[in-house]
Amino acid sequence: MSPIRRAPSTATSERHPVDEVLPASRLFFFGLQHMLIMYAGCVAVPLVLGAVLGLDTHTIALIVNADLLVAGVATIIQSLGMTRFFGIRMPVVAGASFTFLTPMILIGSEYGMRTMYGSMIAAGVFGMLLARPFSKVLRFFPTLVTGCVITIIGLSLIKVSADLVIGSDPKSADYASVKYILLAFAVVAVIVLVHRIFKGFVRNVSVLFGLALGAVAAWAMGMADFSSVGGAKWFGFSSPLYFGTPEFKLVPIIAMCVAMVVVFSEMTACVLAIGDAVDKKVTDKDMARGLATDGLAALLAGFMNSVPDSTFGQNVGLISLTKVKSRYVITVTGVLLLTMGAIPKLGEVVASLPGPVIGGAGLVMFAMTAAVGIQMLQKVDFEGNQNLLIVAVALGVGMLPVVVPTIYQNFHRDAQFILGSAITATVLVAFVLNLLFNHLLVPQDPAGTGDGKGTGPTGDTPQPSPPHSAHDDGAREAEDKVG
């Protein structure tokens, strides 16, 4: 009888910290921390999207609230799981991805909102179908490829930040106004000072401080109009398909699907880092469920007027800092995001932030993204191979439409759209060249000398512990992203 009586306590003692249910007060506090850390980055995507597309304040507020709603749903699914197909069941926070921002801007500008959301829905379905196969072919998306893509995402979006600061109409009387530029630099200065002076949690929310103080300064300077906040409801959700019936066009769908592949690569690195932080092995099945949830989030975003959500790297650092590994903490984060998404007044406040404030905060976030990409490329082996050439050509082709937006104006409209996207062009070039030089044309070494002249199929610097190198490399890559 005694072994039977001891069984429950043994099971309890062997419960993994990821599955631990903390007291309610601790669940709420740590869940709130995670929400505050990712909030600024999450709302930045719909803010930039709405500003560039020229949407009115109410519409931007609607997208902000919808994004918080979808992020909350995706976060809850990732942490708790839903059937055997969705949810990685780990402390994974979902939020708006900058990777989708450029394709959304291009599609929205060229084809309209209905096509943008139709492409999002199609990319979501594509992501759910691709999740399982992608979890098995990660070797075709090594640091060499993802580093190029992350770098170009940041570099290409810096121009978007500049336009938000100075305005998009050179004929306007206040175009490139000194006070706009000074306000943006003030926001940057606040973010830098908070990040330099403080540590831990406060440092992690430095962008949120920059946005808040920038909004106060803009209001004092008469540059911010919060009049729409008073007429907004305290509680409510946006109607599905607010912009009308989605339209599905091949080229925009391809662009969004390419972005989905990039997001999958980013998420893989982040999830491996989370696995290391919580000391839990991530299996192929776990990864497939997590990736499928990203696809589901994009599908839901297409119907709910949101933007696609993916794993937020910033939160990996908080897990390492607090040592709190429970996935139920992240469930609380999801509930808080869901709650905030149901408060239209909050969305109106965020949507009323003036362009220079958004642009100043965006400048830091986008430049940091580029810096993270460069940091990732430091892991790549450039000796005795063509990897440096791959990076150079991929970034060069990707930057062309950024520095000369009209370069492809004489091409067919569909070709303009594909080549004119810095992210899409970089992904295609980096993927094809890596496949060519590091997979199809790898020098053979029949003698097995291992002279280091080729880096093998990954293009990454060889690591000393082969049995664990793939996992460790991905984890360190994501830790660098949040460090």
Phi, psi torsion values for 311, nearest 5 degrees: -60, 135
Are 262 and 422 in contact, with CB atoms under 8 Å apart? no
Q: Is residue 461 in a domain?
A: no
Is residue 351 very low, low, confident or very high in pLDDT (cuts 50, 70, 90)?
A: confident
Q: Is residue 268 in a domain?
A: yes
Q: Is residue 353 in a domain?
A: yes
Comparing CA positions, the residue from 154, 157, 147 lying closest to residue 394 is 147
For residues 164 and 189, give the distance between their C-alpha atoms in angstroms, rounded to a whole number: 17
Query: Quick one: what percent of the chain has pLDDT higher than 70?
Result: 86
Comparing CA positions, the residue from 236, 259, 230 lying closest to residue 99 is 259
pLDDT at 322 over 70: no
- pLDDT tens digit string along 50-89? 988 989 888 989 999 999 999 999 999 999 999 889 999 9
pLDDT at 212 over 80: yes
What is residue 443's predicted lDDT score, i.e. its pLDDT? 64
Angle between helices 24-53 and 344-351 (to 10 degrees): 50
Number of domains in the chain: 1
What is residue 300's predicted lDDT score, i.e. its pLDDT? 95
pLDDT at 115 over 50: yes
What is residue 447's predicted lDDT score, i.e. its pLDDT? 45
pLDDT at 287 over 60: yes
- pLDDT tens digit string along 237-252? 878 989 999 999 999 9
For residues 405 and 105, give the distance between their C-alpha atoms in angstroms, rounded to a whole number: 14
Q: Counting beta carbons within 10 angstroms of the beta carbon of residue 212, is it exposed (0 to 12), middle (13 to 18) or buried (19 or more)?
A: middle
Q: Distances from the Cα of 422 to the Cαs of 99, 301, 411, in angstroms?
A: 11, 23, 16
For residues 473 and 273, give the distance between their C-alpha atoms in angstroms, rounded to a whole number: 9
Q: Is residue 398 in a domain?
A: no
Are 349 and 110 in contact, with CB atoms under 8 Å apart? no
pLDDT at 4 over 50: no
- pLDDT tens digit string along 118-148? 999 999 999 999 999 988 877 788 889 888 9
Cβ atoms < 10 Å from Cβ of 178: 8
Angle between helices 143-166 and 24-53 (to 10 degrees): 70
Average pLDDT over the chain, rounded to whole?
Answer: 82
Here the tokens at position 382 are 């450039």
What is residue 14's predicted lDDT score, i.e. its pLDDT? 72
Comparing CA positions, the residue from 302, 316, 264 lying closest to residue 482 is 316
Here the tokens at position 386 are 């063509």
Here the tokens at position 361 are 């905060």
What is residue 441's predicted lDDT score, i.e. its pLDDT? 77
Are 250 and 65 in contact, with CB atoms under 8 Å apart? no
Strand spans (E) along 68-114: 94-96
What is residue 380's predicted lDDT score, i.e. its pLDDT? 93
For residues 44 and 365, give the distance between their C-alpha atoms in angstroms, rounded to a whole number: 9
Q: Distances from the Cα of 336 to the Cαs of 308, 329, 330, in angstroms?
A: 18, 11, 10
- pLDDT tens digit string along 436-482? 999 887 765 544 443 334 444 445 554 443 334 333 444 444 444 44
| CA angle (279 as vertex; 278, 284 as ends), nearest 5 | 100
Phi, psi torsion values for 310, nearest 5 degrees: -145, 180
For residues 145 and 132, give the distance between their C-alpha atoms in angstroms, rounded to a whole number: 20
Q: Pick the more confident residue, 473 or 428.
A: 428
For residues 135 and 198, give the distance between their C-alpha atoms in angstroms, rounded to a whole number: 39
Q: Pick the more confident residue, 209 or 472.
A: 209
- pLDDT tens digit string along 172-204? 777 778 888 999 999 899 989 988 998 877 777
* HSE of 111, CA atoms in CB hemisphere, 13 A: 23
Is residue 5 very low, low, confident or very high in pLDDT (cuts 50, 70, 90)?
A: very low
What is residue 397's predicted lDDT score, i.e. its pLDDT? 95
Give the pLDDT mean for 307-329: 78
pLDDT at 433 over 90: yes
Q: Which residue segment(s) compose the domain that 145 sits in?
A: 18-368
- CA torsion angle 20 24 29 31 (round to 10): 50
Are 59 and 282 in contact, with CB atoms under 8 Å apart? no
Cβ atoms < 10 Å from Cβ of 384: 12
Q: Pick the more confident residue, 269 or 180.
A: 180
What would the DSSP string read from start to end of 192-238?
Answer: HHHHHH--HHHHHTHHHHHHHHHHHHHHHTT----HHHHTS-SS--P
Highest mean pLDDT, choosing among 38-47, 293-302, 316-325, 416-425: 293-302
Q: Distances from the Cα of 242 to the Cαs of 87, 237, 347, in angstroms?
A: 28, 11, 16
What is residue 1's predicted lDDT score, i.e. its pLDDT? 44
